[in-house]
Amino acid sequence: MIDLDMIAGLLCQAHADGCRIYVMGNGGSAAAADHFVCDLMKIGYPAFSLTANVPLITMLANDYGYKNIFAMQLEPVLEPGDIVIAISTSGNSPNVVKAVKFANSIDAITIGFLGWTGGKLKDWVKYPMTTSPMRNLTAEDWHMIWIHEICRNLQSEDKNGA
């Protein structure tokens, strides 16, 4: 079973190994991705939001299609062992699924914060975490709670010398 301690452990190990963390999502999940990156950077983890660069996103969407906006950001920078976190209440966003498939193809670690049954992403991410069947807003609330608990856990591990 995948839990918050396991996810925190993966992030902690990636940090110790000099790997980076990339986070993505659409809509409210994009806001959660930005928030997660903010909290990770605050405690010294090298994290990057794939939702933060609006000019880049709009150029990629215009020139290559919206389904490519995340995968094309990962292609020039993602390395094996890096972590890609997909936040999606439906688990079916084509742009997120495509980026996760790319990340898997180069042996990055993929984590999903998902709602309901996890959608397509549940089968593609290596570490899926799903909320129980609920409405979108409730799933988004759970994702934010997970983000805060993971960062609290990481901060505690760092203070304890882990």
Residue 157 clears pLDDT 80, i.e. is over it: no
Does the pLDDT at position 162 exceed 50? Answer: no
| Tens-digit pLDDT profile for residues 90-114 | 999 999 999 999 999 999 999 999 9
- The candidate with the shortest Cα–Cα distance to 4, out of 107, 160, 127, 88, is 127
Question: What percent of the chain shows pLDDT beyond 90?
Answer: 83
Q: What is the distance between the alpha carbons of residues 154 and 162, in angstroms, rounded to a whole number?
A: 9
3-state secondary structure of 74: helix
pLDDT in tens, 72-81: 999 999 999 9
pTM of the complete model? 0.93
Helices (H), strands (E): how many in the chain?
7, 5
Q: What domains does the chain contain, in order, with CATH numbers?
A: 4-156 (3.40.50.10490)
pLDDT of residue 117: 85
Reply yes or no on whether the pLDDT at 161 is more than 80: no
Q: What letter does residue 160 receive in the DSSP assignment?
A: T
